[in-house]
Amino acid sequence: MQGSRVHFEKVTKSFGETVALTDFNLDIAPGEFVTLLGASGSGKSTALNILAGFSDATSGEVYTGDRPLTGVAPEHRNVGMVFQNFALFPHKTVAENVAFPLRMRKGARDEIDRRVKAALEMVQLGAFAARKPAALSGGQRQRVALARAVVFEPPVLLMDECLSALDLKLREELQDEIRRIHREIGTTVLFVTHDQTEALTMSDRIAILEGGKIVQIDAPEVLYDRPRTRFVADFIGQSNMFDLSAVTDGTAAVPDMGIDIPVSDPTAVAISIRPERLRVIPGENTSGLSVFQGVVEDETFFGPVVAQTVRLRSGRRLEVRSQRSGHDRLPHTGQTITLAFDPADAAPLVAT
């Protein structure tokens, strides 16, 4: 099966005074796995519901393939969906639940049976066909919901925070399973979560939503290494952010560090440095690195990694993560240390 392209074009949605989506543009390639990541209330479900046909955009258009969807009822959109609370029919057995979309499409009886069986096998629930959803565990229900959403081979699959109700171990298991199924059936997936780890591990690209707007959309590693705004830098992983003076001739001052660094983006107003990109240096070769000093204030031991809070002369605090390799001893609380980073590891941030 082939996934189809999904395209949101200048979509807006308001509920009375509340603006849920503004200028929402998203172009998803066929077969791509894209995640909408954002805090609660950022408009993730609103975007999915407009694509599913449960609510109409205030303006703008959504396409699957080349087909505009305005005015198309949900049942004619040929989109699969996994709901947050699974939404399994409690009065139907597992097999009847999975057969539902096929029955609605008026398939032949034995063809339906065959595909239901295959779908249940795919999620390792072949033995549970005759059970009612109430007799399943949370993880099993999730698998049934997944089987039901893909059994009719929809070119587009939507998932709305469908793993957030499960405990961590189960969630990781199902993340792997969803990835595997995505590879097997090749459908286009639009996945919604507020969990950054989930987004980072699963997605081809992640769209970060803030207040109904996509503030950045990129591959996970780009998003992590090169956040474009304070919001993204803060939302994905941990980050140390420093204000910059105006960038002139590719250089800007970092007042908190008391140094100048090269900055590629002339519109940058701040930089973001991940804690693990800062190095504590006892006096090794510092050529090409930006070097400054601070006092270790606190440290947390994680085994192979130590996290230290360092206070700079300006009073600003920052976070450093160091690998403990070999016998080298890390400086202790109260000690003044020298920190260095490669300016290339400092992501320039623009004002919103």
Ligand X SMILES: Nc1ncnc2c1ncn2[C@@H]1O[C@H](COP(=O)(O)OP(=O)(O)O)[C@@H](O)[C@H]1O
Q: Which residues bind to other proteins, rule: CB under 8 A?
A: 52-54, 73-75, 77, 79-81, 83-85, 87, 89-92, 100-101, 104-105, 131-135, 148, 152
Helix (H) or strand (E) segment spanning residue 210: strand 205-210
40 binds ligand X (CB under 6 A): yes
Pick the piece of the chain touching ligand X (CB under 6 A) from 34-42, 252-260, 309-317, 336-344: 34-42
As a whole number of Å, the CA-based R_g of the chain is 25
Residues 7-46 that bind Mg ion (CB under 5 A): 45
44 binds ligand X (CB under 6 A): yes
Residue 228 site contact among Mg ion, other proteins, ligand X, none (CB < 5 to 8 Å, cut-off depends on kind): none
What is the closest distance, in whole angstroms, from the C-beta atom of residue 74 to ligand X in the complex? Answer: 16
- 78 φ/ψ sector (left φ>0, alpha ψ -120 to 50, else beta): left
What is the closest distance, in whole angstroms, from the C-beta atom of residue 14 to Mg ion in the complex? Answer: 17
Query: At a CB cut-off of 8 Å and minimum separation 6, what does 306 contact?
Result: 299, 300, 321, 322, 324, 330
193 binds ligand X (CB under 6 A): no
Identify the residue among 30, 41, 74, 186 touching ligand X (CB under 6 A): 41
What is the closest distance, in whole angstroms, from the C-beta atom of residue 52 to ligand X in the complex? Answer: 12
What is the closest distance, in whole angstroms, from the C-beta atom of residue 148 to other proteins in the complex? Answer: 7
CB 240 within 8 A of CB 339: no
Residue 142 site contact among other proteins, Mg ion, ligand X, none (CB < 5 to 8 Å, cut-off depends on kind): none
Q: What is the DSSP letter of 248?
A: B
Tokens for 55?
A: 């609510």
Q: How many angstroms separate the Cα of 222 from the Cα of each of 108, 110, 191, 200, 219? A: 47, 48, 19, 10, 5
Identify the residue among 35, 42, 64, 142 touching ligand X (CB under 6 A): 42
Give the residue with the Cβ less far from other proteins, 54 or 301: 54
What sign does the dihedral 138-39-301-202 (CA atoms) show? positive
Question: How many residues bind to Mg ion according to rule CB under 5 A?
Answer: 1
What sign does the dihedral 230-233-239-240 (CA atoms) show? negative
Task: Please give the Cα distance from 34 to 332 (Å, whole number).
Answer: 43
43 binds ligand X (CB under 6 A): yes
15 binds ligand X (CB under 6 A): yes
Give the residue with the Cβ less far from Mg ion, 20 or 123: 20
Residue 100 site contact among other proteins, Mg ion, ligand X, none (CB < 5 to 8 Å, cut-off depends on kind): other proteins
Residue 18 site contact among Mg ion, ligand X, other proteins, none (CB < 5 to 8 Å, cut-off depends on kind): ligand X
49 binds Mg ion (CB under 5 A): no
CB 313 within 8 A of CB 289: no
Query: What DSSP line would sit under 77-146, residue for residue?
Result: S-EEEE-TT----TTS-HHHHHHHHHHHTT--HHHHHHHHHHHHHHTT-GGGTTS-GGGS-HHHHHHHHH
What is the closest distance, in whole angstroms, from the C-beta atom of residue 255 to other proteins in the complex? Answer: 52
